[in-house]
């Protein structure tokens, strides 16, 4: 049975809560290194803290997807997981930035912060996954592009808001410095406001969206016994039968996501070192640099949106992918050579070009190659590993690489640029056509 066309505001309501979730995710991405450096983390150990987000992503998202497939309540099948994830995230967002203010002993502050980070990323992933599934459940094929465009808009809007919060709060007069080991008010209040927006957006979605009961869902989604057999296919068998494009795009993904892991880990120190000539987390210059990095992340998001509009104009998808990654590699390499805070906008706009391609191109190649293979959902779930595993490996190696290059965090941006350059070269290995079994 064909799913009905939904009015614009119904499509909007399906994804509106994603705006709040993405604010939380942006606050985490932009401020985790800043928080742990403020709490006293050694720069050489900083990348280890970034193992948790991709690790939680690779574990939590498949579990939430699998469990919610088999969940039916009077509140829906996806919405209970959305609410639980959002509620936990709100609580953790109020605790994490206060890790240094709770009177804990120095030896336990870092452990408490790590536990809060693990819970935050777990809950964000738990809240994020249902929005993708709601569109898949309730939107017909003709409207899915429109629905995902709305979700993409809300995603980018939430990211920009989350990235800018600390800068805006400093501008209106909140204290941007604090005693050693204490996170500044600008960051604490950014998390408070982000938590409030998150729960309000999620409650709005819960109030406005009514999931179909099981019988209606089964009719609209053509659920049958065969679907259950397909979803339970052995993952190792699927990987063994995967088309070569799956692995070649995965190779490109390895270098791309490793590069961005080093951006998220070291960019605050890199910008502070390059522009403000300090890496002391207790200094005013460092905290100002951290706020400005949020502005740069917002510019990256804007650059990504603009470049995404230009990507379809390329006649050759592989060329578009490679050029985007080359521009991003140039952006990474320029960060240590832009001593003015406003000049730093140029590298981040270029990095936004790579980000736009990374979010769109890999799935285009892989879904084309998988035509006729079946098990599309299972394969895409496995492909998520090419996003998470590179970040885990890069996080494990980050401290050693930093030692090798002389302990300058700004030099890690050049390392990231080289990784992205290699990734652009690996694009040439991809066959840009559907594969056959």
Same domain, 236 and 217: no
* 2 lies in some domain: no
Q: What is the pLDDT of residue 395?
A: 92
Same domain, 242 and 104: no
Same domain, 379 and 264: yes
Q: What separation in angstroms does the CA of 25 have from each of 83, 90, 158, 258? A: 16, 12, 9, 19
Same domain, 75 and 141: yes
Q: What separation in angstroms does the CA of 224 have from each of 140, 381, 397? A: 18, 21, 46
* Tokens linked to 157: 């809007």
- The answer to whether residue 233 scores a pLDDT higher than 70 is no
What CATH number is given to the structural domain containing 401?
A: 1.20.1250.20
List, in sequence order, the alpha helices (H) in 177-283: 185-208, 214-220, 225-231, 235-241, 244-271
Q: Coil, strand or helix: which one is 76? A: strand
Cα–Cα nearest to 285, from 304, 294, 272, 298: 272
- Per-residue pLDDT of 190-227, as tens digits, reads 999 999 999 999 999 989 888 777 777 777 666 554 44
Q: What separation in angstroms does the CA of 365 have from each of 305, 380, 383? A: 20, 12, 12
Strand partners, 260: none
Cβ neighbours for 295, distance < 8 A, ≥ 6 positions apart:
163, 164, 167
**67 neighbors 84 (Cβ within 8 angstroms):** no
Question: Which of residues 223, 248, 282 is at a domain's end?
Answer: 223
Least confident of 315-324, 375-384, 386-395, 400-409: 375-384
Q: In terms of pTM, does the model score above 0.75?
A: yes
* Rounded distance between C-alpha atoms, residue 275 and residue 286, angstroms: 10
Query: How many C-beta atoms surround the C-beta of residue 53 within 10 A?
Result: 26
* 321 lies in some domain: yes
Q: What is the pLDDT of residue 349?
A: 96
* 413 lies in some domain: yes
Query: How many C-beta atoms surround the C-beta of residue 346 within 10 A?
Result: 16
Q: Which H or E run contains 309?
A: helix 284-310
Least confident of 347-361, 376-390, 401-415: 376-390
Average pLDDT of the segment spanning 174-187 = 90
Q: What separation in angstroms does the CA of 326 have from each of 4, 300, 351, 378, 414? A: 43, 15, 9, 31, 13
Q: Which is more confidently placed, 157 or 415?
A: 415
Question: Which of residues 223, 257, 292 is at a domain's end?
Answer: 223
Average pLDDT of the segment spanning 283-307 = 93
Question: Which of residues 198, 223, 248 is at a domain's end?
Answer: 223
- The answer to whether residue 74 scores a pLDDT higher than 60 is yes
Cα Rg of the chain, angstroms: 22
**47 neighbors 34 (Cβ within 8 angstroms):** no
Count of the separate structural domains present in the chain: 2
Same domain, 283 and 308: yes
* Rounded distance between C-alpha atoms, residue 266 and residue 35, angstroms: 12
Range of the domain at 238: 229-437
Residue the block writes with tokens 């996080």: 395
* 148 lies in some domain: yes
* 1 lies in some domain: no
The mean of the pLDDT values for the chain is: 85
């Amino acid at each position: 049975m064909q799913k009905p066309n939904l009015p614009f505001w119904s499509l909007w309501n399906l994804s509106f809560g994603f705006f709040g979730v993405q604010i939380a995710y942006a606050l985490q991405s932009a401020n985790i290194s800043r928080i742990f450096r403020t709490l006293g983390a050694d720069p050489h150990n900083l990348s280890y803290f970034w193992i948790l987000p991709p690790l939680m992503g690779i574990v939590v998202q498949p579990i939430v997807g699998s469990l919610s497939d088999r969940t039916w309540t009077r509140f829906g099948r996806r919405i209970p997981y959305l609410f639980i994830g959002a509620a936990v995230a709100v609580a953790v967002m109020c605790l994490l930035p206060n890790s240094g203010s709770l009177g804990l002993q120095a030896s336990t502050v870092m452990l408490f912060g790590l536990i809060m980070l693990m819970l935050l990323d777990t809950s964000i992933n738990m809240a994020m996954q249902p929005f993708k599934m709601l569109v898949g459940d309730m939107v017909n094929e003709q409207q899915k592009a429109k629905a995902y465009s709305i979700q993409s808009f809300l995603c980018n809007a939430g990211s920009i808001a989350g990235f800018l919060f600390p800068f805006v709060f400093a501008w209106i007069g909140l204290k941007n410095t604090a005693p050693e080991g204490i996170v500044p008010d600008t960051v604490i209040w950014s998390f408070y406001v982000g938590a409030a927006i998150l729960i309000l957006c999620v409650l709005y979605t819960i109030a406005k969206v009514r999931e179909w009961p099981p019988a209606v869902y089964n009719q609209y989604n053509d659920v049958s016994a065969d679907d259950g057999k397909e979803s339970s296919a052995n993952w190792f068998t699927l990987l063994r039968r995967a088309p070569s494009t799956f692995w070649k795009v995965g190779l490109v993904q390895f270098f791309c996501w490793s590069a961005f892991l080093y951006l998220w880990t070291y960019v605050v120190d890199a910008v502070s070192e390059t522009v403000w000539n300090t890496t002391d987390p207790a200094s005013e210059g460092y905290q100002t640099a951290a706020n400005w990095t949020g502005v740069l992340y917002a510019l990256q998001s804007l650059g990504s949106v603009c470049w995404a509009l230009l990507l379809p104009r390329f006649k050759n998808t592989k060329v578009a992918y490679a050029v985007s990654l080359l521009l991003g590699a140039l952006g990474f390499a320029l960060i240590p050579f832009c001593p003015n805070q406003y000049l730093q906008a140029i590298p981040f706009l270029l990095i936004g070009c790579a980000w736009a391609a990374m979010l769109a191109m890999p799935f285009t190649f892989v879904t084309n190659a998988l035509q006729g293979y079946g098990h599309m959902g299972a394969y895409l779930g496995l492909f998520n590993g090419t996003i998470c595993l590179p970040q885990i490996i890069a996080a494990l190696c980050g401290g050693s690489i930093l030692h090798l290059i002389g302990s300058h965090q700004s030099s890690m941006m050049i390392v990231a640029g080289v990784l992205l350059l290699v990734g652009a070269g690996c694009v040439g290995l991809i066959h840009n056509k559907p594969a056959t079994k």
